[in-house]
Amino acid sequence: MALLELKDVRKSYGYDENKVDAISHINLTIEEGSFVAIVGKSGSGKSTLLHVMGGLTKPQHGVVLLEGNSLYDMSDDQLSRYRRRRMGFVFQFYNLISSLNVIENIVLPIHLDHLKEDHEFIDELLDLLGLKEKKTAFVKELSGGQQQRVAIARALAMKPAIILADEPTGNLDAKSSLEVVELLKLSQRQYKQTLILVTHDDMIASQADRIITISDGQIVGDTDEK
Ligand code: ADP
Ligand code: ADP
């Protein structure tokens, strides 16, 4: 089944002579349960594409359907609620709250929706991510790599249908990067999630079921296209 469908999507920034088409003519279907890597040079439009997929950046043109729902036809409230419940984001800037500790950061999105967290699962995640001893540490006391892991735990804690990751291993060394991707894959396989990951790292991309290459805002390669 198609989890995500983009139809003739275009997003540009700026106006007139300063206008940049970040992505254009994007037609794409992503199957439920797959692991898709989006690759391309810096400035090619990867992040814009991921943001559009996640309901974070409204395109000027086209339709984005997630689980059959047209994201940009929802109200802001509906969309943020939907994002919190069904999507897990892992970005380069983790948007962690420095005045909260690790566990508080992880459960915050869950509590915002008045849902009950799965303590056992969260403990398991922290264990897998090597954060067990850091549960009550403040985020500002952690290294960059540890903060990255907290952001991953927060994204996975809700067992989202879709995980959207933008260079999730950008600040990690090669060994930790592979470990992090292994973890994302483990979650993806176990909970039949769809994992969409933007990377410029070929080694990371090679872990995916499907690789989509972006250049100048357009899809120029797709390992699923026959
Ligand atoms: P990538 O993730 O592949 O590096 P981006 O999606 O970040 O590519 O950027 C695609 C193009 O859109 C680039 O030319 C970039 O400069 C431009 N762009 C991205 N975000 C903005 C923005 N907020 N305002 C203006 N231009 C932007
Ligand atoms: P409430 O029902 O009042 O929300 P919880 O039982 O969910 O309380 O959580 C009690 C406290 O334990 C909260 O401060 C919460 O942040 C923290 N907590 C939640 N998950 C874990 C966990 N896996 N390990 C340790 N502490 C946790």
Report ipTM for this prediction: 0.69
Task: Provide the percentage of residues in the chain whose pLDDT is more than 70.
Answer: 99
Site residues for ligand 1, CB cut-off 6 Å: 13-14, 20, 22, 40, 42-48
Which of 102, 106, 107, 124 to probe ligand 2 with, by most ligand atoms within 8 A of CB?
A: 107
All structural domains of the chain: 2-95+161-222 (3.40.50.300)
| Nearest ligand to the C-alpha atom of residue 126 | 2
- Residues 100-143 have pLDDT tens digits of 999 999 998 888 878 888 889 999 989 988 899 999 999 989 98
Name the residue of 97, 119, 136, 139 whose CB sits within 8 Å of the most ligand 2 atoms, as the mutation to test its pocket: 119
pLDDT, one tens digit per residue, over 25-73 is 999 999 999 999 999 999 999 999 999 999 999 999 999 999 999 999 9
Give yes or no for residue 219 having a pLDDT over 90: yes
Best residue for ligand 1 mutational test, from 15, 24, 47 (most atoms within 8 Å of Cβ): 47
Task: Please state the atom number of ligand 2 nearest to the C-alpha of residue 119.
Answer: 23
DSSP string computed for the chain: -EEEEEEEEEEEES-GGG-EEEEEEEEEEEETT-EEEEE--TTSSHHHHHHHHTTSS--SEEEEEETTEEGGGS-HHHHHHHHHHHEEEE-SS----TTSBHHHHHHHHHHHTTPPP-HHHHHHHHHHTT-GGGTTSBGGGS-HHHHHHHHHHHHHTT--SEEEEESTTTTS-HHHHHHHHHHHHHHHHHTT-EEEEE-S-HHHHTTSSEEEEEETTEEEEETT--
Q: What is the pLDDT of residues 145-200, one digit of tens each?
A: 888 889 999 999 989 999 999 988 877 788 888 888 988 998 999 999 999 999 98
